[in-house]
Amino acid sequence: MRTARTWAGGQIGRAIAGALVAVAVASAQAATPAFAGAGTVELAFTPGDAIDASIVTAIAAAEREVLVLAYAFTHPRISRALAAAHRRGIRVELVADRGQTLELPQSVVPALAREGVAVWVDGNFGAAHNKVVIVDADGPHATTITGSYNFTLAAQKRNAENVVMFRDNPEVARAYRAYFRRLQGKAQRWSGEGVPATAKPRAAR
């Protein structure tokens, strides 16, 4: 009898576990956003394609807002495009990985913050590894750029990288903007001087 009960309990346990997994999978699938096709989708790859030029062009075309999630950010041309957008009255906001920003001597983030660009540093993860540019999420010509491409000269000139550019697709842009706001809400605003006093210690990688 004991063996039978153990077998039955095991069967019930496996059935319950299977049901829980099914519910979890269904919940995850339900929570995953999906959008109808709209606008155009462009792909670019390095070495070869001028991804940096595409990013600069998108920033230069902004009419209201540019939001950026960055890991390593050392590319001077992209930095200059953000600074220029800020000077012409575009809302420019940047959430950057804390470690890369504070520890990488070539990082352009401190200079952008000192120029008045709104900067937050994110130390809540092992790495804030996003590379995203969102332009005019509420406009009909909303553009979202994302992929493996760090905003660095190495990514442009030496690495094998990719980006996908969603043009004229406000739904995608708004979904990425919502993700930006979630990360921004937990990050630390930074002036570009010193070390953010309220920054959390980085987790081991």
Residues taking part in catalysis: 129, 131, 136
Q: How many Å apart are CA 133 and CA 44, to the nearest integer?
A: 15
DSSP 69-109: EESSB--HHHHHHHHHHHHTT-EEEEEEEHHHHHH-TT-SH
DSSP three-state, residue 193: coil
Edge-to-edge order in the sheet of strand 91-97: 40-46, 161-167, 143-147, 132-135, 65-70, 91-97, 118-122, 188-190
Contact 99, 162 (CB under 8 A): no
Q: How many Å apart are CA 123 and CA 119, to the nearest integer?
A: 13
161 HSE (CA, 13 A, CB side) = 24
Which residue in the block uniquely carries the two structure tokens 């553009």? 143
What are the backbone angles phi and psi of residue 194, rounded to the nearest 5°? 65, -155
